[in-house]
Amino acid sequence: EKAGYKHFMAKEIAEQPIVLADAIKHYCRGGKINLPEELDFATLDRLTLVACGTASYACMTAKYWFESLAGLNCEVDIASEFRYREPPLPQNSFAIFVSQSGETADTLAALRYARDKVAKIVSVVNVATSSIARESDIALPILAGVEVGVASTKAFTCQLAVLLLLALEAGRQRGRIDDAALAEHLKALASLPGLMNQTLTREPTIAATAAAIAEAQDVLFLGRGAMFPLALEGALKLKEISYIHAEGYASGELKHGPIALIDKAVPVIVLAPRDALFDKTVSNMQEVMARHGKVVLITDAKGADEASYGTWKTLTLPELPALLAPILYALPAQLLAYHAAVAKGTDVDQPRNLAKSVTVE
Ligand code: M6R
């Protein structure tokens, strides 16, 4: 069942180029995005995205996309807070619930809270027969295939792809993306599985870095813009399977507290493609290096050229449009966590105290 891999997680990481290509193919036909017609974003006032854990980080990433591509006001919340807060929800809005299992108790309760308050309940799910899918007006499958490892990997990248397609379609309907621009975006998205394959060939280098990280007690992940939610995701992945304490921060928050943690024993993983925010992130990274933090810079060739001096390690990924970076950069984050766990000898697929599907609150 593990198809020759040592763990389901390794298999599921490796499957990402294939399942992502399937998901993209399912939703894109003839240069158009193929979504149910009732998904009309044109005059919508607001979008509310709700989920738990890794799925909530997919939602946080999507907020950047919905705002920048579609100019759509977008709120994101974790389900366990949302459900008890009695948040007001405008009638002219959609609520989107993201869940791999489709059975997460808090996410389902949040969905039931939103029912009758919003125009449409939409879910982005992996298990198409799940409670969350059944109770939605529109259930969009992510087509990742069965995910066994407790640490979510391929479901995350497929959630991101489906949410990005939703944001692109919202942008088109709201007159912010014309046909030519949409075609460009879709072409770039279609090239992503290939870039993922290239990234996976870097696994031996990533494993060597992970083995060094496995010695640490605390690890920080930093990112700016849409790489910030990925910093949170990288930290979650590392802590849940390797039991190393890890935190994700927005790079700009460094000075507001976490920089106090930095010393020569603390690896700091900096997720920084050479995008418009790169220089800002690099200046935060230099503050870390000035305090002898061990920086692992994950960037592209241009970024490495400009900023690898003084880092502990630099991992170079293929260049790609900034919009797609959160999806591609998820892979080294997952591989770092996986190989750190393997180096520590923990139970990768069934980490202590965790369940694949959290059906009690
Ligand atoms: O099945 P769901 O997507 O609703 O699950 C949500 C979280 O429980 C899940 O993402 C959890 O955080 C994973 N173990 C993360 O790897």
The rounded Å distance from CA 54 to ligand 1 centre is 5
Tokens of 172: 């088109």
- Looking at residue 270, its amino acid is V
pLDDT at 352: 87
Q: What CA dihedral angle connects 302, 304, 249 and 213, to 10 degrees?
A: 150
Going by alpha carbons, the residue nearest to atom 12 of ligand 1 is: 53
Q: Which atom of ligand 1 is nearest to the CA of 358?
A: 8
Helix (H, G, I), strand (E, B) or coil at 88: coil
**What is the reported pTM?**
0.98
Phi, then psi, of 193 in degrees rounded to 5: -55, -40
Our measurement of the distance from residue 120's CA atom to the centroid of its chain's CA atoms, rounded to an integer in Å, reads 24
Q: How much distance in Å is there from the Cα of 352 to the middle of ligand 1?
A: 15
Q: What are phi and psi of 251, to 5 degrees?
A: -50, -40
C-beta 350 within 6 A of ligand 1: no
Distance, in Å, from the CA atom of 132 to the CA atom of 148, rounded to the nearest integer, reads 19
Q: What is the pLDDT of residues 259-287, one digit of tens each?
A: 999 999 999 999 999 999 999 999 999 99
2 catalytic per annotation: no
Helix (H) or strand (E) holding 216: none
* CA atoms of 64 and 74, how far apart (whole Å): 9
> Looking at this protein, which amino acid is placed at residue 38?
E
ipTM for the complex? 0.99
State the distance from the centre of ligand 1 to the C-alpha of 350, rounded, in angstroms.
Answer: 13
- Any atom of ligand 1 within 6 Å of the Cβ of 334: no
Torsion over CA: 44, 103, 17, 30 (sign)? negative
Q: Is 99 helix (H, G, I), strand (E, B) or coil?
A: strand
Counting from 1 in the atom list of ligand 1, the atom nearest the Cα of 159 is 3
Q: Cβ(55)–Cβ(159) under 8 Å?
A: yes
The tens-digit pLDDT sequence of the chain (361 residues) is 899 999 999 999 999 999 999 999 999 988 899 999 999 999 999 999 999 999 999 999 999 999 999 999 999 999 999 999 999 999 999 999 999 999 999 999 999 999 999 999 999 999 999 999 999 999 999 999 999 999 999 999 999 999 999 999 999 999 999 999 999 999 999 999 999 999 999 999 999 999 999 999 999 999 999 999 999 999 999 999 999 999 999 999 999 999 999 999 999 999 999 999 999 999 999 999 999 999 999 999 999 999 999 999 999 999 999 999 999 999 999 999 999 999 999 988 888 899 888 888 8
Name the CA dihedral angle for 284, 289, 291, 296, rounded to a multiple of 10 degrees.
90
Position 204, amino acid: P
What's residue 183's pLDDT? Answer: 96
